[in-house]
């Protein structure tokens, strides 16, 4: 595995920023592997079965709810197309593990581990921060635990996932080449609520 470097550069400054108090905590995750597994038009069912068997879990049935089991998170980002993440260092990379399982006649496995930045935010103001850019209803009754959505923020494609087990925690996947621009929006919006930037998780 080659070393993962943050795309956020000098814009990522651990410490407290903005107004007094901590409405929101921000942290980049550099410890997560990511692949896309995509079926062809006629192979959605065999691909889903093979992937489900290899990962030992049921896969999400639609594009609204993520599936989590152990360290593994799966999003169905389009019919028959999955994003899968888990921390590095639990054996082979996802790409190396899944490539022999999903043959070229069934689908395509693409290593995206250096193609997205993972940013997490938590805290009582997290929803209000997100509401300033995401055109989504984030009420927990609508966007509950493990709800996810692919949606643009100021024309930057993102994937927003409400993390389970905490009252107000979200993970955002953003295209790496847009990550710094997105981060600047998120950081400046968070400053208005008092924000703590933690050391990136490696």
Partner 1 sequence: MLRITCPHCGERDHAEFAYGGDATIKYPSLDNADQEAWFQAVFIRKNPRGKHSELWQHVGGCREWLVVERDTLTHEIFSVTSARVLAEGGQ
Binding footprint of partner 1 on the chain (CB under 8 A): 41, 62-64, 76-79, 135-136, 149-152, 157
176 close to 118: Cβ distance less than 8 angstroms: no
Q: Rank residues 25 and 36 by Cβ distance to partner 1 and give the closer one.
A: 36
Per-residue tokens: 89: 């260092």
Distances (CA, A) of 140 to 62, 116, 120, 158, 167: 19, 26, 17, 19, 9
β-pair type (195-197, 24-29)? parallel
Q: Give backbone dihedrals phi and psi of 168, rounded to 5 degrees, phi first.
A: -150, 75
Q: Rank residues 21 and 63 by Cβ distance to partner 1 and give the closer one.
A: 63
Largest Cα–Cα distance in the chain? 57
Q: Please state the closest distance from residue 148 (CB atom) to partner 1, in A.
A: 10
Q: Please state the closest distance from residue 99 (CB atom) to partner 1, in A.
A: 24
> Which of 156, 147, 150, 144 lies closest to 185 in space, CA to CA?
156
Q: Please state the closest distance from residue 149 (CB atom) to partner 1, in A.
A: 7
- Decide: helix, strand or coil at residue 201: strand
196 close to 135: Cβ distance less than 8 angstroms: no
Q: Rank residues 25 and 158 by Cβ distance to partner 1 and give the closer one.
A: 158
Q: Rank residues 23 and 60 by Cβ distance to partner 1 and give the closer one.
A: 60
> Which of 57, 44, 45, 123 lies closest to 86 in space, CA to CA?
57
Q: Please state the closest distance from residue 108 (CB atom) to partner 1, in A.
A: 15
Q: Rank residues 110 and 150 by Cβ distance to partner 1 and give the closer one.
A: 150
Q: Please state the closest distance from residue 79 (CB atom) to partner 1, in A.
A: 6
11 close to 174: Cβ distance less than 8 angstroms: no
Q: Please state the closest distance from residue 40 (CB atom) to partner 1, in A.
A: 12
Q: Rank residues 5 and 155 by Cβ distance to partner 1 and give the closer one.
A: 155
């Amino acid at each position: 595995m080659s070393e993962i470097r943050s795309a956020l550069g000098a814009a990522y400054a651990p410490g407290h920023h903005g107004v007094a108090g901590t409405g929101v905590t921000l942290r980049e995750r550099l410890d997560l592997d990511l692949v896309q597994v995509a079926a062809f038009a006629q192979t959605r069912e065999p691909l889903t079965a093979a992937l489900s068997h290899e990962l030992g879990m049921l896969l999400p049935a639609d594009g609204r709810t993520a599936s989590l089991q152990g360290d593994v998170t799966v999003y169905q980002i389009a019919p028959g197309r999955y994003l899968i993440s888990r921390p590095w260092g639990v054996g082979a990379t996802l790409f190396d593990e899944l490539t022999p399982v999903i043959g070229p006649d069934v689908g395509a496995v693409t290593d995206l581990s250096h193609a997205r930045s993972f940013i997490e935010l938590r805290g009582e103001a997290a929803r209000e921060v997100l509401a300033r850019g995401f055109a989504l209803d984030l009420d927990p009754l609508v966007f509950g635990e493990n709800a996810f959505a692919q949606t643009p923020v100021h024309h930057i494609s993102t994937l927003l996932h409400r993390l389970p087990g905490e009252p107000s925690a979200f993970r955002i996947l953003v295209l790496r080449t847009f990550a710094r621009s997105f981060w600047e929006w998120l950081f400046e919006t968070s400053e208005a609520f008092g924000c703590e930037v933690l050391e990136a998780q490696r």
